[in-house]
Amino acid sequence: MGSFKNSVFILVLHLLEGALSDSLIQLNNNGYEGIVIAIDPNVPEDETLIQHIKDMVTDASPYLFEATEKRFYFKNVAILIPENWKTKPEYVKPKLETYKNADVLVAEPNPTGNDGPYTEQMGGCGEKGDRIYLTPDFLAGKKSRQYGPQGRAFVHEWAHLRWGVFNEYNNDQKFYLSNKRRKPVVCSEGFTGETVIQKCQGGSCVTQPCKLDRKTGLYEEGCEFIPHKDQREKASIMYSQSIDTVVEFCTEKNHNREAPNEQNKKCNHRSTWEVIQDSEDFKTTTPMTTQPPSPTFSLLQIGQRIVCLVLDKSGSMTIGNRLKRLNQAGKLFLLQTVEQGSWVGMVTFDSAAYVQSELVQINSATERDTLTKSLPTTASGGTSICSGLRSAFTVIKKKYPTDGAEIILLTDGEDNTISACFDEVKQSGAIIHTVALGPSAAQELEQMSKMTGGLQTYASDQVQNNGLVDAFAALSSGNKAVSQRSIQLESRGLTLQNSQWMNGTVTVDSTVGKDTLFLITWTTDLPQILLWDPSGNKQDGFIVDKNTKMAYLQIPDIAKIGVWKYSLQASSQTLTLTVTSRASSATLPPVTVTSKMNKDTGKFPSPMVVYVKIHQGTKPILRSKVTALIESVDGKTVTLELLDNGAGADATKDDGIYSRYFTAYDTNGRYSAKVWALGGVNTASQNASPQRNGAMYIPGWIENGEVKWNPPRPEINKDQGKQVCFSRTSSGGSFVATDVPKAPIPDLFPPCKITDLKAKIEGDNLINLTWTAPGDDYDHGRADKYIIRISTNILELRDKFNESLQVNTTDLIPNEANSEEVFVFKPETITFTNGTDLFIAIQAVDEVSLKSEISNIAQVSLFIPPEIPPEKPSPSLPCPDISINSTIPGIHILKIMWKWLGELQISLG
């Protein structure tokens, strides 16, 4: 049996390798299936929106097919309709489709008018994106002049989402110098247009040619490249799919590698088609010889939540107070996490299964209290997970189909027969969330979650880490409106000795406060519990359950905004504190923190990445303090500070997504992730997402020789957002580490790639470089040295970096990871004259000579401003008695002409 079990575990790991994604998308015979497009519950009911979605995908499919050389098309799409819309006979119940795993979200713009389609991309080049965002007005075609037809824009976003490519335009830098020429950031270079600027005053606007900036050699700020409406170029879709002739992605032959855009920066100056060719989609398909069918659509409407707890009460649950901890976590879920109106049942199992409660609808505290009394109190016997699951299916089927129902499976034991019910699980259509408790929980649990789209979590026996409570706190509905979901504000634990105190604070911000619950657990004796609200009023009334070893206090109405203080005193035992709440209003989006790992499996020495997204509605929350705790199966913990700095593991600066590499493996097996996020006086909500990974907003078109401007793009103000103070805790799920060698673990982690290298020219032809320091191990520690090389040929620098000219960096000592680096040098052996284009890249080296990938390539072009000609003196006039203050018209006109000619000479450069 042991060899069979090992082979199953190897199969599980094989199935789990690769990027972690909630998506249900599959590629089947060239067609994408399982696409989920969800309409946000806050979108006003409008049946025409459903038809707009259908029209967009139907138009997009043949465009995608031709653009990918007849490889891919859209086969079927599920449209998720909000629960608060009217029901219709053609609307059916979802199975595994949820808002959580939706690939596209249709939501109202924030701020109003910011209707640009965009894709959230947490990862780097070639890594799948997370979600596409569209607005009702975009789908209705009201923004087609700015973004092009909806179907074409959807293909642009699909390339972000599915293949991890980036934009080939740049809103922050629209022109660059190359070989003494000013060029617009376009791809390919064959697009035609005019460089003009629109100047408005007093309600009237005029279009003018752009002036030159004497310092940079580029055009003045506000200058735009306006394309001709009629073009001949076919590429590229990632530049502007809105141009009628564009039907292809840039290839190696026509890609503009010099253009300073995100595709070049993040993808090592490779074209989008080269990246697509490297994808698994491309490698597993061949071009079709027939035309694909039109997409089909299913209309799914969210209904009531149906969930059944399947809880292990086998003999091993007596170890380390696991059964009591299960009761503590189960009570939190039943009292607080599960939403009002949900149907909840309960099954326990050891060698057999036992129904503790049929499905009960939660309408009041009465049902919640009744369900908590069904939690198991004794443990014995073996472990039969399949028995528990089959019993849960039976409980659910008595009232509802199992399609779309949720099962929360907790177990701490091994079970060699678990694979016997995999087929039943698949056929059930139920979503299985798994909670692995302790080091010996069945190794197949992750596959159970993966095949059903459920959440996978792991909790160790280290009580102070509060992992089991966190796992259950994370199990709020993936389909309910965010205003109904339970939000975890705090989760702390500490082992106390000799009447020590556990002191701390919790911030209740204005976006939460409803149904606020303070939960304290202990391992031996009831501790002293002190809690004060922001006004300094001591809070009494904790309900104490000495048998389960927990106490909780539900704050009535809306909890006071501000800092709540707590003090807990105990001796020789471990205490934990958990605080949860809900949105204070259905109309004010709460600050939400969601976290995840980039993969289900970390294969040493490949690093893992922790991602945390902090938003309020669609607004990113910037400058938060975010900390992750990674715990191994051995109970060892590593703390990481996560950053939103656009360096290291972080793909985009200031987008509200905080990231960090994890390399501190200590053993094989499960690891759990937990996140704390704090917002203080320096924290702010950004008025809108940067939307760098979206379709280009065309400023205008040249039609019949005339510039026809579009309305100005809505301003994105990063610094004027409202300050936000908050505290949040979030479970990041779990992952499995493999191939970790025995201690001492060798150093096989190089410094991470530098992704934000910038260069500019200073006086006397000095080149100033800035970048974010990598570490010794990816973005941790300190690198040993830098190798900087330069070339006048971008491809030679990229492809023959080791042969390119090296800059003397003897005096350049690396700073600690994530510090700002500045280095100034003067090219000594390259003829650096007016118009010279110079390309620069960096490689970091650690103390054991492991090297990072080559950085993004920075470019400078030497521009020497022309001298300003001296003002010509006025010709002498034969009137010796004219005073110095005379105002003879002829002199004045000559001065104006000379000055105008001088300016003309400068502008011609």
**The two three-digit tokens of residue 354, written as one number:** 């036992």
Query: Could you tell me if 384 and 353 are in contact, meaning their C-beta atoms sit under 8 angstroms apart?
Result: yes
Distance from C-alpha of 841 to C-alpha of 308, rounded to nearest angstrom: 56
Phi, psi of 51 (to 5 degrees): -65, -40
Phi, psi of 565 (to 5 degrees): -110, 140
Q: Residue 755 corresponds to which amino acid?
A: T
Q: Are strands 353-361 and 343-349 parallel, antiparallel or unpaired?
A: antiparallel
Distance from C-alpha of 336 to C-alpha of 352, rounded to nearest angstrom: 29
* Nearest in space to 429 (alpha carbons), one of 410, 453, 394: 453
**The two three-digit tokens of residue 842, written as one number:** 């960096």
**The two three-digit tokens of residue 256, written as one number:** 């503009």
Q: Decide if 224 is catalytic.
A: no
From 97, 120, 157, 224, active-site residue: 157
Axis-axis angle for helices 150-163, 47-67 (nearest 10): 70
> b/e map of 436-455 (b: 16 or more CB within 10 Å)?
bbbbebbbbbbbbbbebbbb
CA atoms within 13 A on the CB side of 903: 7
Query: Sheet harboring 726-738: ordered strands across?
Result: 601-603, 726-738, 669-679, 625-632, 637-642
> b/e map of 92-108 (b: 16 or more CB within 10 Å)?
ebbbbbbbbbbbbbbbe
CA dihedral 370, 371, 377, 380 (to 10 degrees): 140
518: Cβ–Cβ under 8 A, 6 or more apart, which residues? 531, 539, 542, 552, 553, 555, 566, 577, 578, 579
Distance from C-alpha of 623 to C-alpha of 659, rounded to nearest angstrom: 13
DSSP-derived secondary structure for 631-681: EETTS-EEEEEEB-SSSTT--STTSSEEEEEE----SSEEEEEEEEEEE-T
Distance from C-alpha of 228 to C-alpha of 192, rounded to nearest angstrom: 6
Cβ-count burial of 2 within 10 angstroms (0-12 exposed, 13-18 middle, 19+ buried)? exposed
Handedness of CA 883, 887, 892, 894 (dihedral sign): negative
What distance separates the 2 farthest-apart alpha carbons in the chain? 122
Reduce the DSSP state of residue 517 to 3 states and report it. Answer: strand
Distance from C-alpha of 284 to C-alpha of 308, rounded to nearest angstrom: 39
SS (H, E, C) 430-471: CEEEEEEECCCCCCCHHHHHHHHCCCEEEECCCHHHCHHHHH
**Distance between alpha carbon 163 and the CA centroid of its chain, in Å?**
15
730: Cβ–Cβ under 8 A, 6 or more apart, which residues? 474, 488, 593, 594, 595, 612, 674, 675, 677
- Length of the chain in residues, anyone? 909
Catalytic residues: 157
